[in-house]
């Protein structure tokens, strides 16, 4: 049987009609821009593993965040690179830590003109480079929870809007919620790295943020990429613990999990397009094999199409500029 009257190309015949029919529209408002701030820096330096990304000094933060806000990007995510590491991850929760100072600086200068999010993890701050505290040869879940809650509370005291735990410790959302509430920060939201996978796509970040593990790997706490049901259990557990926004990480190779989360749960979904995804596109673009602007919009639109409500991406500024040009 044929349908001679069905001609889908009718709706593709001009730029304007294609625009009218667009089902998924990427906007700068979908994006969260990560920033790296390094404690001992005098002025910003380029990251060799992530071309176009910089490690900022505290003095660079306000102008950088202003330029992000000017591009209509609604949120930044702060990552700190401390000058001191120890077995307790002390620099992660002290009041004059680099992340705490950065948050306070942004809040003081931008008020509520941008949403301030911050990473809550220990890997940049522990001498082991692991996301939890080490006991013997193991990453100890329950003693890490107490420290993660302290990190979140210290960031809340500095003025953060949303804390984003990425350690993949069991019970981290519950511990952080309890810690925040007990300290009176009932309005600080939690965006958990709910389904954060053990991925080889994090390598450029580990170099950028000085957070590579000094022994072993992260397979005892991060999710295996072979297990979608387990990923959904992680999301479900975070929801039960009171999370505000769940996250799937990485993004591009995990679109099925974003889509699955959207169909199973009624909760805002973030996707984290990670450093390796960025580096792959950058390398191919620098070699002249692809058009970076076009590929970036295609990838970010696909992540949104899969069901992400917001995307943490190193392409935030580039994509926002491209969108503004169109």
Residue list for the binding site for Mg(2+): 234
DSSP readout, 34-63?
Answer: EEEEETT-SS-EE-TTSTT-EEEPGGGHHH
Nearest-angstrom CA–CA distance, 191 and 245: 4
Taking the least distance from each CB to Zn ion, the nearer of 131 and 271 is 131
CA distance between the termini of the chain: 42
Nearest-angstrom CA–CA distance, 310 and 247: 9
Q: How far is the CB of 131 from Zn ion (least distance, A)?
A: 3
Q: Which residues are annotated as a binding site?
A: 121, 123, 131, 234
Q: Which residues are annotated as a binding site for Zn(2+)?
A: 121, 123, 131
Q: How far is the CB of 132 from Zn ion (least distance, A)?
A: 8
Q: Are 36 and 53 in contact (CB under 8 A)?
A: yes
Q: How far is the CB of 166 from Zn ion (least distance, A)?
A: 5
Stretch of 11-19, 114-122, 175-183, 312-320 contacting Zn ion, by CB under 5 A: 114-122
Q: Are 78 and 137 in contact (CB under 8 A)?
A: no
Taking the least distance from each CB to Zn ion, the nearer of 75 and 121 is 121
- Nearest-Å Rg of the Cα atoms of the chain is 20
Catalytically annotated residue among 85, 249, 304, 317:
249
Q: Contact with Zn ion (CB under 5 A): which of 75, 99, 131, 152?
A: 131
Stretch of 2-10, 113-121, 170-178, 271-279 contacting Zn ion, by CB under 5 A: 113-121
State residue 197 phi and psi, 5-degree precision: -95, 150
The verdict on whether 249 is a catalytic residue reads yes
Residue 5: count of CB within 10 angstroms of its CB: 5
Q: How far is the CB of 89 from Zn ion (least distance, A)?
A: 10
Ramachandran sector of residue 314 (left: φ over 0; alpha: ψ -120 to 50; beta: rest) = alpha
Number of residues in contact with Zn ion, rule: CB under 5 A? Answer: 3
Q: Contact with Zn ion (CB under 5 A): which of 117, 123, 235, 297?
A: 123
Stretch of 35-43, 66-74, 122-130, 225-233 contacting Zn ion, by CB under 5 A: 122-130
The verdict on whether 138 is a catalytic residue reads no
Nearest-angstrom CA–CA distance, 62 and 48: 23
Taking the least distance from each CB to Zn ion, the nearer of 92 and 116 is 92
Q: Any idea which residue has 């350690």 for tokens?
A: 167
Nearest-angstrom CA–CA distance, 218 and 297: 31
Q: Is 31 in the site for Zn ion (CB under 5 A)?
A: no
Q: Contact with Zn ion (CB under 5 A): which of 104, 121, 175, 190?
A: 121
Nearest-angstrom CA–CA distance, 208 and 145: 25
Catalytically annotated residue among 44, 196, 282, 317:
196
Residues labelled catalytic: 196, 249
Note the residues at the interface with Zn ion (CB under 5 A): 121, 123, 131
């Amino acid at each position: 049987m044929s349908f001679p009257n069905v001609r889908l190309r009718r709706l593709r015949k001009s730029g304007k009609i294609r625009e009218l029919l667009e089902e998924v529209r990427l906007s700068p408002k979908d994006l969260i821009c990560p920033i790296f701030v390094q404690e001992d820096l005098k002025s910003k330096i380029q990251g060799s593993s992530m071309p176009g990304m910089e490690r900022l000094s505290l003095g660079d933060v306000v102008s950088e965040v202003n330029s992000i806000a000017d591009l209509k990007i609604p949120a930044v995510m702060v990552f700190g690179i401390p000058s001191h590491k120890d077995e307790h991850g002390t620099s992660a929760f002290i009041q004059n830590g680099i992340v705490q100072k950065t948050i306070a600086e942004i809040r003081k200068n931008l008020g509520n003109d941008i949403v301030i999010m911050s990473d809550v993890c220990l890997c940049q701050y522990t001498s082991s480079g692991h996301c939890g505290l080490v006991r013997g040869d193991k990453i100890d879940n329950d003693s890490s929870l107490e420290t993660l809650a302290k990190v979140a509370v210290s960031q809340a005291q500095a003025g953060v809007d949303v804390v984003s735990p990425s350690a993949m410790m069991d019970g981290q959302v519950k511990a952080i919620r309890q810690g925040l509430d007990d300290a009176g920060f009932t309005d600080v939201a939690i965006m958990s790295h709910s389904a954060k996978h053990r991925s080889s796509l994090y390598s450029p970040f580990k170099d950028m943020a000085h957070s590579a593990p000094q022994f072993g790997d992260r397979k005892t706490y991060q999710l295996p990429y072979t297990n979608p049901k387990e990923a959904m259990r992680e999301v479900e557990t975070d929801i039960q613990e009171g999370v505000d926004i769940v996250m799937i990480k990485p993004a591009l190779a995990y679109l099925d999990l974003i889509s699955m989360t959207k169909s199973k749960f009624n909760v805002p979904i973030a996707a984290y397009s990670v450093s390796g995804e960025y580096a792959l596109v950058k390398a191919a673009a620098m070699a002249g094999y692809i058009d970076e602007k076009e590929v970036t919009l295609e990838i970010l639109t696909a992540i949104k199409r899969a069901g992400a409500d917001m995307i943490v991406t190193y392409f935030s500024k580039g994509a926002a500029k491209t969108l503004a040009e169109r």
